[in-house]
Amino acid sequence: MENKPFHTLKVGVFDSGLGGLTVLSELTKVSSGVKFFYLGDTARVPYGIRSDETIIKYSLECTRFLLKFEIDILVIACNTASAKATEVLKKEFPFLKIFEVITPAVEVVSSVAKRSVGIIGTPATVKSNIYLTRLKALNPSLEVFQKPTPLLVPLVEEGITDGKVAFEVLKYYLWEWKEKIDTLLLGCTHYPLLENSIKKLFPHWGIVNSAKPLAQKLKPLLNFGGKNEIRLYFTDKTAFLEDMVKRVSLKGEVKGVEIGNLL
């Protein structure tokens, strides 16, 4: 009997820019023998200030690009797209297993937060109230604060994740919560790159990075033995793209990086 060729699991990951690399990094840490295809829509970042219609349009375009690689799983590594486009993508592509970053993070926060939670995200994510609604549903006793922090994505995209400027912007947004909250939920996949700076300013807070709960949820699906293979695609070569790719630890062999008018 002729042996059928083993099908390597293919996972597509997309984000509005470079922030989703934090999700890709966590996924590669808990996987083996998986082919990852990452698309960062750096030409149109940020998504968080766009209309719902535009966010959905961009998300559909990113998904269609990744489908060219015959992916088995789609990971929406963008909180804004997760909040606004998940249901549309599931309806449009019913044959795909689709995972987003919001649900696993909510589950973790609802169990680890003691009294009060602060949520930071893009204007679109915060306006959707998706974190607030789901947290309250799981743990009604929690006091929940939320705030849009639109300057943080450009900071990360420009490589400014520590030092005086980063500290001042973080203090501008977060200082009023200093004694109000015990847990901070990073509701944008760019924000983990600011996590060390946040910890320096607010060492008593617990911080939940939405990439890690998602990776733990997917871990049972991602282990086949052998090396991961990673291909990176970006719609524009931004100033700090190469530096950001180097700063994010990817467990696997990066087979190629393609930059250009992909969509």
Q: 3-state DSSP call for residue 219? A: helix
Active site residue 188: yes
- Would residue 252 be called left, alpha or beta, if left means φ above 0 and alpha means ψ between -120 and 50 degrees? left
Among residues 23, 101, 152, 188, the one annotated as catalytic is 188
Between CA 227 and CA 147 the distance in angstroms is 40
Tokens linked to 172:
């501008």
User: H or E element: which one contains 186?
Assistant: strand 183-187
Among residues 78, 105, 130, 153, the one annotated as catalytic is 78
Instruction: For residue 5, give the amino acid letter.
Output: P
For residues 71, 45, 57 and 79, what is the CA-based torsion angle, rounded to 10 degrees? Answer: 70
In the block, residue with structure tokens 């960062």: 40
Beta strand 183-187 with 206-209 is: parallel
Active site residue 62: no
Q: Which residues are catalytically annotated?
A: 78, 188
